[in-house]
Structure 1
Amino acid sequence: MTVIAPVKTAAAWRSDHVGDDPRWRLRLSEVHQDEVLDALAAVRAAGVGLDDVSPELFPLPTLGPHLRRLAVDVTHGRGFALVQGLPVGALAEHDAALVALGVAGHVGGIVPQGPERMPVIHVRDEGADPARSTTRSHQHSQQLGFHADPTDAVALLCLWPARSGGQSAIVSSVAVHNALVDARPDLACLLYQPWWFDRRTGDGPDSFHQQPVYAVSPDGRLTVRYGPDYMRSAQRSPHVPPLTSQQWEALEAVDRLNHDPRFLLTMDLRPGDLQFLNNHVILHSRTAYADHPDPTRRRHLLRLWLDLGLEG
C-alpha cells in the first residue's frame, strides 16, 4: 500500500484555532463603502456589462490593497476569508451583481459558470427537485453535503438570508485529510484513487466523470475534490460500478470528520457578507432552510467562481 502522509500547511486549521481570529474578517469602513458605490456608479455610467467588469473598470484605491492581501491568505494561507459590510442592501439585483464582480475581481479572475457561461449564478430556491438528473445544488433549499466547487475559489455574496436555516459551514479539507491519515490510512489511500462524480447534466455518459478525491502536486500542495451528494448520485448511471463496502466506509469516515466540532466552522451570512473559499483546501456546506413568505425577503446569494492561478 502506498504510504500517505499528513500535509503540513497553514490551511490545515481547526475551528478552535481560527474561530475567534479576527484576521479572516475584513469589515468595510464608510470610506470603503463609499468607494464601492463610486465604482458602481462609474461602471453603470459607462454601460459596463456583467461580462466586462474588471479591477481597472472598478477601481478601489483604498480597499483594493486590503483585498489583495486577503487574496494571498485565501490562496496560500488558511484558505478562506469573509468581507463584511458591502453596501448592497438598497441595490437592485443587477447592481449587486456588478458590486460582487467588481470587488471579487480584486481577489481573482472571474470564471464563467454553467453551459450558459454566466459570470454570476443566483443561489435561491427555485423549487427544483433535488432527485432530478439536471438539478443543481443552488436551485433547492435542502441540506448540502460538504463539497468543493470545480474552480480555484468560490465567492458567495449574501443579499438576503433565509427566514430560518441556511447556515454556512466550512472545514479545512487538509485538516480532515490529516485526521483520516492518522486514524485510517487505508481509507485515506483509497481516496487518492479515481472516484466517479455526477455532473448533473442529464442521463448520458457525459454527465459522469472520474477524478481522485485527494491529489498532491509535485510541490507538495494538497488538492481535495469532494462532493458526497454528486459521488452518491453517480451511482444512478448503469456505466458506473457500484461503490464497494470500503468505499462506502471511506465516504462515511470523511463525512463524520467534516461534521466533527473540532473542524467545523459555521457562519451566519448576513446581507453584505462576501465569503471567499479556496476549493482546493476548503469544503463548504449549507443547512436546509425555510424562506419567508414575502418574495422580496427570500434567501438569495450570488455565486462567483474565481481563478487564483492554482490550476494546472
Structure 2
Amino acid sequence: MQPMAVGERVAWDAAGLAADRGWIFTLDDRARRDLISAVRKVADPDRPLFDFGRNEFDLGSALPVLRAAFAEQRNGTGLALVRGLPREGVTEAEFRLMTWAIGLHFGVARPQGKASQYLSAVRNEGTDYRSAGGRGYSSNAKLDFHVDGCDVVGLACYNVAKSGGMSLCTSSIAVHNLLARERPDLLELLYEPFCFSRQNEQAPDEGPYVRCPIYGVAEGVLFGRWNRNRAASAQKLEGVAPWTPRQAEALDLLDALLQRPDLMYSMWLEPGDLQLMNNHTALHSRTQFEDWEEPERRRVLYRLWLAPPDSRRLPPGWEDPFKTVEPGAVRGGIRGFRWDDTCRAFEARQAATLGMTVPG
C-alpha cells in the first residue's frame, strides 16, 4: 500500500510540532475581558445550557483568535492550543458557561455518555477505566491513546492536578505513513472494520458495539480512528469475532508507534488553556495523576464535543459511530439514556443557526 499524499503539517512528529508554533494562539488582555464580559452579561444559574443561544454571546476580539485556532485544527496540524482564557477571579460556573459559549460559535455540541450530557467535567470521580462501563474522563488513570466520538474535541482547563495529568498526542497520519513505509502488510488490515464497545452507554435502539475501520479515505483525504480500551472491551461481547494473530500484531504495533518518543508530543495544560483536537487526524492520551485534597483545588477541565459546520465527508464504513458520513451534518456523540425531545430541539436550533443539516 502506497502512503497517502497528505499535508506535511498534519503528519507531524514530536520535534516538528515543537518547532512549528503556528498551532499555539494567545488571547490578549482585551480578548480576555471581552470573553468574561460576554459570559457575565447573560449568566444565570437557573438557566440550563440548552437555553443559551449563540447570539447572546458577543465574544468580541476573542472571536478572531478562536476562529484561527479552529481553522488550525481542521486545516493545519489537527491540533490547536489557545492560551489565556479568563481564569483569575473566574468561578467554575462562569468558566463552564464560557466553554459552552465558545462551542455555540463553532459547532453543534454532541452528547458524551449515558447521562446524555453535552458538556462534561473531566475530574476524578473514582471510576474504573478498565471496567465494562469505564470512562477515562471520570478517573485519574493513565489513558490509552484514543479519539473521542466526534469531529472536534475541546478541553478547557480550570484546575490542574497536584502531580501528573500530562496531555499526550500523536498524529494518526504520521503513524499511518510510517506503517505504509515499514509494514504495509499490517496497515492493510487497519482499513478493515473493527468492533468497539459502547461501554454500556448505548441508547435503547443501539447495539452494544459499533463497527468501523481504523483508517479510511474520503474524497482524497485520509482519516484515522482508534480506541484500544473500547476495542479490547468489545472482544468480550457476544457476536464479536476475536482478533486474528495478524490483527493483534497490527494493533499492538499501532499502539507502540503512538507512544514512540519521536512521534508523541507531550504538553502540560495550564489553567486558562483550551486544547482543540481534530479526532480524524490526531489521537490523545493522558498520564495518571494525583489530585489535591482540597475540593476547590482538584483537577477539572471542561470537555466539549462538537460537530462543526465545515466538517468533511467521512470515509465509507464510518456510518455506525457517526450516524452519517455527510459533511456539515450534526453527527457523532454518545446519545446515552436521556437523549430526548429537548436534546433534539437544541440540536435543531443550533444546526439552523450554523446552516447545518440534521440526519433524519
Q: TM-score range by the shorter chain?
A: over 0.9
Matches of 1:244 and 1:66 in 2, distance apart?
47
How far 1:238 sits from its partner (Å)? 3.0
Please give the residue correspondences for 1:145-184 in structure 2 after superposition, counting only pairs within 5 Å: 145-184=144-183
Change in CA separation of 1:18 and 1:53 when aligned onto 2, cut-off 3 Å: farther
- 1:228-284 Cα shifts (integer Å, max 9, x gaps): 111111111132121111111111111111111221111101111110000000100
CA distance in 2, matches of 1:66, 1:221: 26
Give the corresponding residue for 1:274. 274
What secondary structure is seen at the aligned counterpart in 1 of 2:149? coil
Normalised TM-score (structure 1): 0.93
1:67-82 to structure 2, matched below 5 A, reads 67-82=66-81
CA distance in 2, matches of 1:303, 1:154: 7
User: Any conservation in 2 of the 1:67–1:106 contact (CA below 8 Å)?
Assistant: no
User: RMSD over aligned Cα, in angstroms?
Assistant: 2.1
Distance in structure 2 (CA, Å) of the matches to 1:304 and 1:278: 12
Q: Which residue of 2 aligns with 1:242?
A: 242
Q: Secondary structure at the match of 2:158?
A: strand
1:14 aligned residue? 13
SS at match of 1:277: strand
Residue 213 (structure 1) aligns with:
214
The change in CA–CA distance for 1:40 and 1:231 in structure 2 (over 3 A counts) is same
**In 2, distance between residues paired with 1:46 and 1:259?**
42
Cα displacement string for residues 97-145 of structure 1 (whole angstroms, at most 9, x for unaligned residues): 1111112333433223224332210111111122332221111111111
Give the equivalent residue in structure 1 for 2:347: none
Q: Residue in 2 aligned with 1:257?
A: 257
Is 2:300 the counterpart of 1:304? no
Residues 52 and 24 (structure 1), Cα distance of their counterparts in 2 relative to 1, 3 Å cut? farther
For 1:238 and 1:108, locate their aligned partners in 2 and report how far apart those are by CA, in whole Å. 36
The 5 A counterparts of 1:89-238 are 89-201=88-200, 206-217=207-218, 219-238=219-238
Q: Taking structure 1 as reference, are residues 46 and 136 closer, same or farther at Cα in structure 2, changes over 3 Å only?
A: closer
Q: Summarize the Cα distance change of 1:144–1:252 in structure 2 as closer, same or farther, 3 Å threshold.
A: same
Deviation at 1:45, TM superposition (A): 6.1
SS in 2 for 1:146: coil
How many residues matched? 309
Unaligned runs of 5+ in 1: none
TM-score using structure 2 length? 0.81
Instruction: Tell me if the contact between 1:134 and 1:202 (Cα under 8 Å) persists in the aligned partners.
Output: yes
SS at match of 1:19: helix
Unaligned runs of at least 5 residues, structure 2? 313-324, 327-360
Larger mean Cα displacement after TM superposition, 170-179 or 112-121: 112-121
**Separation in structure 2 between the aligned mates of residue 143 and residue 112 of structure 1, nearest angstrom:** 23
- Residue deviations 1:63-120, cap 9 Å, x none? 2122212222211221110111111343333221111111233343322322433221
Q: Whole-Å Cα distance in 2 between the matches of residues 143 and 174 of structure 1?
A: 23
Give SS of 2:72's match: helix
Alpha-carbon distance between aligned partners in 1 of 2:47 and 2:23, rounded to the nearest angstrom: 31
Task: Give the Cα–Cα distance (whole angstroms) in 2 for the partners of residues 258 and 132 of structure 1.
Answer: 23
Structure 1 CA distance, aligned partners of 2:88 and 2:167?
A: 20
CA distance in 2, matches of 1:107, 1:260: 33
Tell me how far apart the structure 2 counterparts of residues 78 and 291 of structure 1 sit (CA, whole Å). Answer: 31
Q: Secondary structure at the match of 2:145?
A: strand
Q: What is the match of residue 27 of structure 2?
A: 28
- Taking the aligned partners of 1:292 and 1:215, their CA distance within structure 2 comes to 42
Alpha-carbon distance between aligned partners in 2 of 1:253 and 1:32, rounded to the nearest angstrom: 44
Q: Give the match for residue 64 of structure 1.
A: 63
Residues 143-169 of structure 1 deviation map (CA, whole Å, 9 limit, x = unaligned): 111111111010001111111111001
CA contact (8 A) 1:71 1:108 kept: no
Of 98-107 and 172-181, deviating more is 98-107
AA at the equivalent of 1:136: R
Instruction: Find the counterpart in structure 1 of residue 283 from structure 2.
Output: 283
User: Residue type of the partner of 1:5?
Assistant: P
Q: Is the 8 A contact 2:82 2:275 kept in 1?
A: yes
Residues 128 and 135 of structure 2 are in contact (CA less than 8 Å); yes or no, is this contact kept in structure 1?
A: no
CA distance in structure 2 between the partners assigned to 1:192 and 1:52 by the alignment:
42
Q: Is the 8 A contact 2:130 2:229 kept in 1?
A: no
Distance (whole Å) between structure 1 residues aligned to residue 114 and residue 229 of structure 2 = 21
Partner amino acid, structure 2, of 1:279: N
Q: In 2, are the aligned partners of 1:70 and 1:107 still within 8 Å (CA)? A: no
Q: Which amino acid aligns with 2:76?
A: G
